[in-house]
Structure 1
Amino acid sequence: MFTGLIEEMGVLRSVQRRGEAMILTIGASRVLEDVKLGDSISVNGVCLTVVEFDRNAFAVDVMPETYRKTNLQSIRTGSPLNLERAMMAGGRFGGHLVQGHVDGTGTIRGREAEANAVVFTIEPDEPDLLRHIVQQGSVTLDGISLTIVDVDREQARFAVSIIPHTLRETVLQNKNPGDSLNIECDILGKYVDHLLNLRERGSNRKQGGLSEAFLRDNGFM
């Protein structure tokens, strides 16, 4: 579990590709202060396991499912990466509950300055992700806990506003329209949606499928 508060930007030192599997070696400092084999580190919002480390770098495995679902497939040697260690019990919880389980990717469609902030407009590659995007709610982009400031459901896009500190300390400083971001929706919203769908399916089974009463009760008539 993570908070979405980035601890440092690491640098990708090397990539070993084996089909859709990869081994990434990442240069870092702060996240290595108390690292152990098997520890979880969020890399651009993806929860990965440390399989090797020294004083200046650590290595992680990327399995095919992660390769297919995230933007890690497109990173290159020298790329900056957002890094965060798993949260500690009893520590400050400044972001929101982040699992490091990416739901999908999105493409930056706009980057505009607004006073001291920069507003990024994101279009999810899978429009269905918008069902979990709520204005003033939380979303994780490349591992960064952010607040949603606008949702445009007609264009299937949403926006986040970035303060100078976040821009300066994360990979967003190098992101521009056309670039890809990992998206993790708020876990609370996903569970609520899942439970409501289970209840709805159970109700349909009890009624023998769709009925006039079901359509009327749910606003379709």
Structure 2
Amino acid sequence: MFTGIVEELGEIARVEPLSDAARLTVRGPLVTSDARHGDSIAVNGVCLTVVEVSGDEFTVDVVHETLKRSSLGRAEAGRQVNLERAMPANGRFGGHVMQGHVDGTATFLSRDPDGLTHFAFPAPLGRYIVEKGSIAVDGVSLTVAGVAKEEFSIALIPTTLELTTLGRTEPGDVVNIEVDVLAKYVEKLAAVHLPGTGVDNGKGKEDA
């Protein structure tokens, strides 16, 4: 589990295409300081399993489903990424409950001088995005400032702009989003009592 408090701004060192997958090597001195084979590290909000650690770099394998559903399908050497280690049982809970299972991608639209930042999101995710609710954008725990049609806005403080990739986004850039998992569970449980909602109450989809 993660909380969306980015620990470090890392960098993709290498990308190796595999059959229906990719192997990424990521540079991050802080998160690799105690990383071991099998540990979980969120890379731009995507929970990935460490397969190798060498110096200040760690390597992960990214399967086809994750490449398709997240922005990691566009990963390239030199790109900066947000990094967070899995939360320890005795850790401080600073953001909100995050699984690192990306629901889809959004597109950065604009940011005003006050930090109010706008994104366009896929229509099917709209029912989970509510004003003053939680959302993860590229692994950063944020509060939704407003929702209009297929756009949402968040207010970014200077620290977030400086210490995460969100301060470096340009119009048209793709970011990962993970909606509040609690909303999805509530919907699942309520669906049987709300006929005609169109919610699938059977086998769930596989997330990234």
What TM-score do the two structures reach when normalised by structure 2? 0.92
- Opposite residue 118 of structure 2, the aligned amino acid is T
Residue 111 of structure 1 contacts residue 176 of structure 1 at CA under 8 Å; is this kept in 2? Answer: no
Contact 2:33 2:56 in 1 (8 A): no
1:215 corresponds to: none
Matches within 5 A, 1:59-138: 59-114=59-114, 118-124=115-121, 126-138=122-134
CA offsets 1:6-40 (integer angstroms, 9 cap, x no match): 00011100000125410000011110121111000
Deviates more, 1:12-21 or 1:65-74: 12-21
Alignment gaps of 5+ in structure 1: 203-221
- Asked if the contact 2:108/2:174 (under 8 Å) is kept, the reply is yes
The one-letter amino acid of 2:174's match is: S
Partner Cα separation in structure 2 for residue 199 and residue 46 of structure 1:
33
Larger helix proportion of the pair: 1
Matched, 1:139 2:128: no
Pairing partner for 2:171 from 159, 166, 177: 177
> Of 152, 163, 168, which residue of structure 1 is paired with 2:162?
168
The residue matched to 1:135 in structure 2 has which SS? Answer: coil
Identity rate, percent: 45
Q: Deviations over 1:72-128 (max 9, x none)?
A: 0112110001000000112110100000000000101121111xxx1111111x211
Runs of 4+ in 1 over 4 A off after TM superposition: none
For residues 37 and 93 of structure 1, what CA distance do their matches in structure 2 show?
A: 25
Rounded Cα–Cα distance in structure 1 between residues aligned with 2:157 and 2:20: 36
Distance 1:69 1:17 in 2: 17
Amino acid at match of 1:74: R
Q: What is the DSSP-based 3-state SS (H/G/I as helix, E as strand, rest coil) of the residue aligned with 1:129?
A: helix
Secondary structure of 2:193's aligned partner? helix
How is 1:4-23 mapped onto 2 (pairs within 5 angstroms)? 4-23=4-23
Aligned counterpart for 2:144 among listed residues 135, 144, 148: 148
Distance in 1 between the 2:9 and 2:44 partners? 9
Query: Which residue identity does 1:61 align to in structure 2?
Result: D
Between structure 1 and structure 2, the one with the greater Rg is 1
Counterpart AA for 2:165: V
Q: Which moved more, 1:129-138 or 1:193-202?
A: 193-202
Task: Provide the residue aligned with 2:44 in structure 1.
Answer: 44
Q: What displacement does 1:201 show?
A: 4.5
After superposition, the C-alpha distances for 1:171-214 in whole angstroms (9 at most, x for unaligned) are 11210111001010001111111111133249xxxxxxxxxxxx
Distance in 2 between the 1:97 and 1:163 partners? Answer: 21
Find the aligned partners of 1:160 and 1:194 in 2 and give their Cα distance.
27
Q: Distance in 2 between matches of 1:190 and 1:182?
A: 17
Superposition CA RMSD, Å: 1.6
**Structure 2 equivalent of residue 216 of structure 1:** none
Inter-partner Cα distance in structure 1 for 2:125 and 2:161: 24
Report the Cα distance in structure 2 between the residues aligned to 1:166 and 1:20, rounded to whole angstroms: 34
